[in-house]
Structure 1
Amino acid sequence: MELIYHLAEPQHWATAESIGRYEQSTRGVPLAAADFVHAAGADQWPTVRQRFYSDYEQDLFLLAIDPGRLNAEVRREVGDPATGEEFPHVYGPIEVDAVQAVHTLHPTHDLPHDEAATASRTAVVIPSDLGTVWDTLTDWQRAGRWLPGVSTITADGPTGVGTRLTYLTTDGAFVSTVTAADRGRLLQVRSERGGLASTHSFHLGRAFSDERAATVLTLVTEVDGTGSPEALREARSEVGLADRALPELLRRTILG
């Protein structure tokens, strides 16, 4: 049976170790005030962390839980009505004996995002070090390996704030600008075309605190512009649908 995961604040895990069971539903909500403990799959917890804990300034614990060792029922239910994505929900406390591993997650490097303009927010864990992920992300000449429709990207200088990127695509060419760059931590690129502007923010961080080489890559895409609210909603839907696949495509490129 596949493991499921839960993000725990240190004080709640400390309590669990002392009483033998974990009784917190989610951030700020005890199980006594809810029906279940929120959990996530191996490919889901990075997005949960970015969405709900990006402002959390302490270490977090990632609990790796064996559902077969739980006394409580585990149900897969829709956790995000907007996408229909299902998450595992644990209908009762989590016995400490069911926790197979506890990983320490350090605070992430983040920028505030405009939630109203957000078109997509997707994360993956890549079993490679930060340097490898960053180098592949900024290997502009070979970006077509993981960016659908892109043949190549030409940068007018070293990657940094203000660098102009010329994309050659199947639909023609366009120019983007790097608006934030912090090697191994953050890359932000902004494009403006046809009255719409899209901002792609790639956040990188170590997945675990031990010596394993693993990187959490989160992509947040925002779309704004001068169009009508209806046009902007449609644009965000289209861009978001396409961009949700990009972190996984980059992961596959790195793993070969």
Structure 2
Amino acid sequence: MQTIQHIALADEWDEAQREGTYATSTLGVSIDAAGYLHASFPEQVRPTLERFYSDVDAPLVLLTLDPEALAEAGLEVRVEPAAPDDPESERFPHVYGGVLPVNAVSSAESLELPGTQA
């Protein structure tokens, strides 16, 4: 399986580590509300940052998910079109089945904000 990653606000990830689960699907939307966790393949991270996070001024982290730990937690990865009504649109991984246990994250790295140079 391809590497699956998720962009998170650093403070939400910090809170998740204290609580044991991460419950945010995407900016301002919970997994419960969306029905799944939004994720990306590595080549989709930069375009996703530029499109959806360009106005975020809070620290971000890039979470890399562990497929085995996801399966053990009863979570399912589905690769689906970004636009459900357009099956030809770009396909992204979505994680279904509930909140994300923090032990299903194999790494968390600081992520530079769009428009900044390393």
- Alignment partner, residue 103 of structure 1: 109
Judged with a 3 Å threshold, the aligned counterparts in structure 2 of structure 1 residues 84 and 93 are, in CA distance, closer, same or farther, namely same
Contact 2:4 2:64 in 1 (8 A): yes
- Alignment partner, residue 55 of structure 1: 55
- Alignment partner, residue 36 of structure 1: 36
1:74 to 74, 77, 82: 77
1:85 to 73, 90, 93: 90
Q: 1:1-256 alignment to 2 at 5 Å?
A: 1-70=1-70, 71=73, 72-80=75-83, 81=86, 84-91=89-96, 92-109=98-115, 205-206=117-118
Q: Which has the larger radius of gyration?
A: 1
Instruction: Kindly tell me the number of residue pairs found equivalent between the two proteins.
Output: 112
Write the deviation string for residues 78-123 of structure 1: whole angstroms up to 9, x where unpaired. Answer: 11449511100001222111111111013222xxxxxxxxxxxxxx
State the 1:73 CA deviation: 0.8
Give, as a single letter, the amino acid of the residue that structure 1 aligns with 2:90.
Answer: E
Q: Distance in 1 between matches of 2:62 and 2:35?
A: 21
Task: Report which structure shows greater RCO (CA 8 Å, sep ≥6).
Answer: 2
Q: Distance in 2 between matches of 1:46 and 1:106?
A: 10
Judged with a 3 Å threshold, the aligned counterparts in structure 2 of structure 1 residues 51 and 83 are, in CA distance, closer, same or farther, namely farther
Q: What's the secondary structure of 1:7's corresponding residue?
A: strand
TM-score, normalisation: structure 1:
0.41
Q: What's the secondary structure of 1:14's corresponding residue?
A: helix
- Report the aligned-residue RMSD: 1.7
Give, as a single letter, the amino acid of the residue that structure 1 aligns with 2:100.
Answer: I
Unaligned stretches of 5+ in structure 2?
none
Unaligned stretches of 5+ in structure 1?
110-184, 186-204, 207-256
Query: Percent sequence identity over matched residues?
Result: 38
Return the structure number with greater strand share: 1
Divergent runs of 4+, >4 A:
none
